[in-house]
Structure 1
Amino acid sequence: MKPVPRPTPETRPFWDGAAAGQLRIQRCLACERHYFYPRPGCPRCGSDQVEWVTASGRGTLYSYVINHRPAPGFEDETPYAIAVVELEEGVRMMTNLVGIEPTPENLPLDLPLRVVFEQRGEVWIPLWEVAR
């Protein structure tokens, strides 16, 4: 069984968005920069004046590793790609790639991607696939 994240009060808007099919990230109202992972203050300027926004759901492959030694719950899925995706909004998110054979030939950097969601327990997990 794959691990299931536990939403906290700080991350609840992210998980509620995922359940609604939306990728939500935070934006600082002071410096107007987007950021991810969820937290109460801007990591750039320190302001606590932040809001949740719906991201475009589009990004590009920034980096990846092909994992051949599965984590618990992923035994039947090796090999799989663990990736860092750069969103159009400029933030990076660690995730898994789905719907593509994880080989270096299939995963050129800057590959256009789009978010998809997988239900896992009571939460929906954002994953990324090749944008078509």
Structure 2
Amino acid sequence: MGDYNGLALFFVGLGGGFGAILRYSITRLLSAHNGGRFPLATFLINSLGTFCLGFLSGFGAGDAKLLFLGTGMMGGFTTFSTFNHEILRIHGDGHPYHAGLYAVLTLSAGLTLGFLGMAIGYGLSR
């Protein structure tokens, strides 16, 4: 499964589709309850996705699972390009404090939750 082949592409594509649908659904749900200055949905999605990818890595998921869940689903679910765009948009809208807060919180949560997920996954796999 480690080779570049059609089955690998299928797992990545299928996972990516599920991840994108999940991201869209969570964004729609949370956007209805958010004032718009702080992109709560993207923050939560990136934090959860980082934890899940860390968990999969620490747990030692096999190639097919890692392609589907890690590369595909978490790749389609997390939104780093959206994160960057939102920082610039928030700053451009005249809210530099919120832009900075969002950047610091997201990076801190991502590193912390990625480490936590990896540690839990590693612990459960032993």
TM-score, L = length of structure 2: 0.26
More strand by share: 1
Larger radius of gyration: 2
More helix by share: 2
TM-score, L = length of structure 1: 0.25
